């Protein structure tokens, strides 16, 4: 039968939870349009990845004309 080794104090218990925090996502500058994007992803603004156009993105200038 499993038996607890002893009471864990509130300070010891809470200190384990103290390092659980969210961090800001890493952002890099798109080399084509200079927009901030996550690394190793296609830019949503210009559609470029690794200096090659991967997705044809409609620009806002062309839509309004």
Q: pLDDT per residue over 6-50, tens digit each?
A: 999 999 999 988 888 889 999 999 999 999 999 999 999 999 999
The boundaries of the domain holding residue 48 are 24-64
Phi then psi dihedrals of residue 57, to 5 deg? -105, 130
Please indicate, yes or no, if residue 14 is contained in any of the structural domains.
no
Residue 33, classified by CB atoms within 10 Å of its CB into exposed (0-12), middle (13-18) or buried (19+), is middle
What's the structural domain count of the chain? 1
Please indicate, yes or no, if residue 18 is contained in any of the structural domains.
no
pLDDT band at 57 (very low <50, low <70, confident <90, very high): confident
> What is the pTM assigned to this prediction?
0.55
Please indicate, yes or no, if residue 42 is contained in any of the structural domains.
yes
């Amino acid at each position: 039968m499993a038996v607890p080794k002893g009471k864990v104090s509130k300070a010891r218990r809470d200190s384990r939870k103290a390092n659980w925090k969210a961090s800001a996502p890493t952002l890099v500058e798109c080399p084509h349009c200079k927009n901030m994007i996550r690394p190793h992803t296609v830019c949503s603004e210009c559609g470029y990845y690794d200096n090659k156009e991967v997705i044809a993105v409609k620009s806002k200038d062309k839509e309004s004309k």
